[in-house]
Amino acid sequence: APWRPARPPRLEATDLQSDEARTLADFAGRPLLVNVWATWCGPCRIEMPSLNTLAQQLAPQGWQFVALNHGEMPERVRRFLAEVPIQGTLLLDRSQTVFKAWGGRALPATFVFDSAGRPLARAEGERDWAAPAMVEALRALPAVRRT
């Protein structure tokens, strides 16, 4: 669905690998897909393989992928990733503020930004991200076609 929040979205989260603070500005210049998830979320676990497939298909075209964990400790996330690998940058939102600020209501939730960091689309609930129709819908977004 189209996503046009009243205020520009902000992202302040910690990179799981480097422990550094990250913002949307760190991902400027290329289209971005942010998936908000949690280890306790069954539908999140189910959709992860299709998100990985999508990342493999779209990353060569310049897309960036962020898996934003919703409120969990780093060790718990690392244990989960040993079982269920995730493509892209892993960020932690320990304070659980990003998902709420972006109007999220149910996990998993996915948010798409154009290469200038403007919000384009959002989806809540489990999706088959590797489905050809889904891949084509993302490629067809007007603000990311040129990437």
- Residues in a beta bridge with 111: 34, 122
Terminal alpha carbon distance of the chain:
21
Burial class (CB in 10 A: 0-12, 13-18, 19+), 33: buried
pLDDT in tens, the chain (147 residues): 888 887 779 999 999 999 999 999 999 999 999 999 999 999 999 999 999 999 999 999 999 999 999 999 999 999 999 999 999 999 999 999 999 999 999 999 999 999 988 999 999 999 999 999 999 999 988 766 544
Supply the pTM of this predicted model.
Answer: 0.93
